């Protein structure tokens, strides 16, 4: 954002030109594996759908899952799929931030 403002002011670019340039740069960055702010994706969309389906199936079988159960399941799923993750290996659970993002 700061670079975009600086380019607009110092180089005299129009707002539209600046927006187009930095939108393309942003699209390039998010199309690869990158961190946005301090968060990064742990699972792909397909993996999240698979995890959500499993949780729903468990609920349909009257096996209620607490938030801690879901966090443990996510950790186990990440380990099983050999996904690089930032989860707590000593407690073997996903973080609360991950759970909040998953539930949205």
31 vs 3: which has the higher pLDDT: 3
pLDDT recorded at residue 33: 46
User: Contact 76/94 with Cβ under 8 angstroms?
Assistant: no
Number of Cβ within a 10 Å radius of residue 83: 15
Q: Which residues contact 10 (CB under 8 A, 6 or more apart)?
A: none
Q: How far apart are CA 54 and CA 57, in angstroms?
A: 5
Q: How far apart are CA 59 and CA 95, in angstroms?
A: 22
Which helix (DSSP H) or strand (DSSP E) does residue 28 occupy?
helix 15-31
Question: Model's pTM, two decimal places?
Answer: 0.62
Q: How far apart are CA 43 and CA 51, in angstroms?
A: 9
Residues 24-60: tens digit of each pLDDT: 655 555 455 444 445 568 888 899 999 999 999 998 9
Q: How far apart are CA 80 and CA 75, in angstroms?
A: 9
Average pLDDT of the chain is: 79
The pLDDT-based confidence of 7 (bands split at 50, 70, 90) is: low
């Amino acid at each position: 954002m700061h670079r975009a403002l600086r380019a607009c002011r110092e180089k005299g670019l129009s707002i539209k030109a600046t927006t187009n340039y930095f939108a393309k740069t942003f699209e390039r960055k998010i199309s690869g594996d990158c961190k946005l702010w301090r968060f990064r994706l742990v699972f792909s969309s397909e993996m999240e759908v698979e995890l959500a389906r499993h949780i729903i199936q468990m609920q349909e079988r009257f096996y209620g899952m607490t938030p801690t159960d879901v966090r443990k399941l996510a950790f186990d799923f990440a380990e099983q799929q050999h996904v690089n993750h930032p989860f707590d290996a000593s407690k073997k659970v996903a973080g609360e931030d991950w759970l909040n993002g998953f539930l949205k």
